[in-house]
Amino acid sequence: MDPTLLIGDIVERDSSAKKPVEPPSSSTSTTGQPAHRKRWTQSAFKQRQAAKAAGLDPSTIPNPSSKSNNQSAAESTPQSFENLDKQRIDRENKQKIDSMTPQEIAKAQEELLSGLNPALVQRLLARANIDEQLEPSPFDLLPEIQPTTQPSPTIQVTDTTKEAVEHKDEVAKPTEPKPAPVPASKPTQSKKIADNYDEDQEPAQIPEDLFPLSDLRNQSTHFPAPPTLPDLDPSDPNFLATLHEKYFPELPADPSKLAWMAPVPTEDSPADRESAYYPHPEISVSALRFDFKGRFLSPRVSRKIPTSKGLHHHGLAPEAAGYTVAELAILARSAVPAQRCMAFQTLGRIMYRLGKGEWGKSEDDPIAMGVWAAIKEGRVIEALSAAASIDGGHRGSQAYATEALWLFEKGGWKDKIKGR
């Protein structure tokens, strides 16, 4: 608020006398358009015509519309409260400095310089020129916008004679750039070809880059080739290792998964002597093997049976034909119906022969009791009973399981053991 403003200058307005509200006056024009008003100022066209008649230059006459527009733009520029406050503070500072003596100004400068860093003062003095004010102050008033008058174009009518037209054409014709000199190239020498020239005829002089195709085949290429491995031999003792190295070099080796592919050991070799069914005086009863009809196969007989009979498989003794009771018990629980049917049929025939006493009729016979112990250990009776009593499923395996239980009853071994 301006400190020079006094409270006594405020005058209250008398609001008792109110002017009555008057309705807006209607237009007196009968056509509905605004009434014509007389212009008190001449138009620009009339001003130029009057200037020509008086012998003056029409371009020197200012445009009244542009002048009024510039004045209205300068007057309508609003100033914010912050700008007004800055201008007031600037005026107060200038008034205060004007009222100070030179000694007071020097003392104030010393107080300011003593409180600042000397390096900062040097930087400020180097960047600013106190004597000259190159840039306008932000507190200065806005400069008045001067009206810009541009001279109006004049139309001149001249007589275009032939000489003037030719002179104009010479001026308007652009100068063509000179073409750049083309570097002189070496003259190409073309050989004349005879009329009787034969393209398929062998040249008189062989070029250096021409050589027979056989020489190119003998040259080794720069592409790296994998090392050549020897052909696989199934009889090789290192057959599985060579197979893995040749076809699966990047996969980890697991010999147990490739054991079924191991070659059959030769007869009477150290590996053959370690077989579970090698013919020697002492053989475990659980290692005894049987054919599909339930007959016992001795070690020597099982080794002579050809592989075409279908009795060889990848078990503990792949060189021997036949199945043990433990292997048949495993196949009886297979997910393949054909394997279950074969196991049920073979087990039923083995139990029938066991009941008929082909391997002994008393409890003192070791072969008969060993076969029965293998049947109980493999839980063959329980597997047959479950397969025969199941509802649905494979009908063939159910029929073979029922037949195996009937052969066990018909053999009579159940009456001999009496629950043992």
Q: Where are the domains of the chain?
A: 283-419
CA distance 37 to 146: 30
**Residue 26 token pair:** 């209607």
CA distance 294 to 318: 19
pLDDT at 118 over 50: yes
| Mean pLDDT, residues 289-296 | 91
Q: pLDDT confidence of 8, banded at 50, 70, 90?
A: low
* pLDDT tens figures, 192-206: 677 777 778 877 787
| Mean pLDDT, residues 299-309 | 85
CA distance 313 to 269: 20
**Residue 406 token pair:** 């009937």
* Structure-model confidence comparison of residues 172 and 349, the more confident one: 349
pLDDT at 43: 79
| Mean pLDDT, residues 386-415 | 89
pLDDT at 241: 83
pLDDT at 335 over 60: yes
pLDDT at 74: 47
pLDDT at 298: 86
pLDDT at 208: 78
Task: Name which of 38-52, 139-153, 245-259 the model is least confident about.
Answer: 139-153
- Can you give 235-284 as a three-state secondary structure string? CCCCHHHHHHHHHCCCCCCCHHHHHHHCCCCCCCCHHHHCCCCCCCCCCC
The 3-state DSSP class for residue 326 equals helix
| Mean pLDDT, residues 57-75 | 56
Q: Is 353 exposed, middle or buried (0-12, 13-18, 19+ CB in 10 A)?
A: buried
Distances (CA, A) of 248 to 244, 281, 324: 5, 43, 35
DSSP state of 304: H
